Amino acid sequence: MIGPPRLPVVFPPETEERLSSWIARMAPFYAMTVPEFLVELGLPGRDMFDLEWRLPEGEGALIAHRTGLSEAAVQAMTFREVVPEARMMVARKNRHHCPLCPAEVHRKPAALPWAFRCPVHGVELRDAGGLTLPQTLSPELFTALQAHMLAGAAVLDDWARGDGRRALGAAEMLAFLTTRHRRASPPSVAEQPRMSLQTRRDYHDFLTAPIARQALTVVVPEYDRVAPVLAKPVRPGHHGLAQGSQLQAFALTVGVGRIAEDPINRAIDVLLASDDGGQERVREALKAWPLSVRRGISARFWRVQRDERDRQIAEKAMRRRQSHKYRTIQSHKYGWRVS
Ligand SMILES: [Zn+2]
């Protein structure tokens, strides 16, 4: 290929490093800005985030020729394996950071919201405040939820790669998890921070502001207990993952994992916890689920409701018997007292 000569110094890409990270590391070495360095690579006016999303073969060959890297190595730094509908999941930089990775190295997995561990060092990533999930959740809870998280991450990975093996996909699960299954309500006593009477008066607005209630809190009650009440609602559908905090992304990934493990029972849990309006919305979200799963839900939900009705009838009958007995005892007592 004819073109400008090879650059004298080229950094080898780090493990799973993304193209934008590699370009941003190389440019300062040549005392250039990123746009200047792109000119040097023969790609004037191109955006490095567009390049790393889809790198046309010709431009990949250009970078390979100029740097001496193989075309495969250059393409490996792009997100070509991610399908267009999942692009919003690819952040422009590391979502969370690994304390052992150099700050300027951004790896592809760290751009995705369901990565919670450094692919190189195997340590938990830290959020903007420097906290890891075991610190936010407690180490025990994090360990207990890990298997579900991994199951969820596998589903999300398949979805991002356009793998259609699964009948029930991540998009449908996320829509379900973020459905408002009950009407919005103010923070419950358990959700409120402990405060004095005066503080309660000062925070009256906070204490009476309705909070959106989503299926996620039923499928992942651990999240419901741990999440700060104002930061509990997640954005609807994909946006909850794409734009959520680390804790929200973790809860959604766990939720996806739990649904993948047992979709019918998770749907029933949410239907049972719903109020009337919410149940409508949940049923609407379930319409996108495969027919076989929906049939399973209908059959089981009908049985669960019947059992619940029977239980209530039995309970009522029991109460009636007890109150009758109680009255009998009372009248006996009365009889004893007056005699
Ligand atoms: Zn690391």
Distance 112 CA to ligand 1 centre (A): 15
Q: What is the pLDDT of residue 337?
A: 46
Distance 242 CA to ligand 1 centre (A): 22
Distance 125 CA to ligand 1 centre (A): 8
Q: What is the mean pLDDT of residues 65-89?
A: 96
pLDDT at 164 over 90: no
How far apart are alpha carbons 102 and 13 in whole angstroms?
Answer: 13
Q: What is the pLDDT of residue 331?
A: 54
How far apart are alpha carbons 52 and 79 in whole angstroms?
Answer: 6
pLDDT, tens digit, for every residue of 100-126?
999 999 999 999 999 999 999 999 999
Q: Which of 32-36, 142-146, 179-183, 190-194 is least confident?
A: 190-194
How far apart are alpha carbons 84 and 135 in whole angstroms?
Answer: 34
Distance 103 CA to ligand 1 centre (A): 9
How far apart are alpha carbons 173 and 69 in whole angstroms?
Answer: 40
Per-residue confidence at 243, pLDDT binned at 50, 70, 90?
Answer: very high
| Percentage of residues of the chain with pLDDT beyond 70 | 95
Distance 111 CA to ligand 1 centre (A): 13
Structure tokens at 287: 């319409």
Q: What is the pLDDT of residue 62?
A: 94
Distance 104 CA to ligand 1 centre (A): 11
Q: What is the mean pLDDT of residues 296-307?
A: 91
Per-residue confidence at 332, pLDDT binned at 50, 70, 90?
Answer: low
Residues whose CB is under 5 A from ligand 1 (ion)?
98, 100-101, 118, 120-121
Q: What is the pLDDT of residue 194?
A: 78
Distance 123 CA to ligand 1 centre (A): 7
pLDDT at 334 over 60: no
Distance 37 CA to ligand 1 centre (A): 27
Q: What is the mean pLDDT of residues 266-285?
A: 96
pLDDT at 339 over 50: no
Give, in order, the Cα–Cα distances in Å from 46 to each of 52, 56, 196.
11, 12, 58
What does the DSSP 8-state code read for residue 262?
-
Q: Which of 31-40, 196-205, 288-297, 299-308 is least confident?
A: 196-205
How far apart are alpha carbons 246 and 244 in whole angstroms?
Answer: 7
pLDDT at 271 over 70: yes
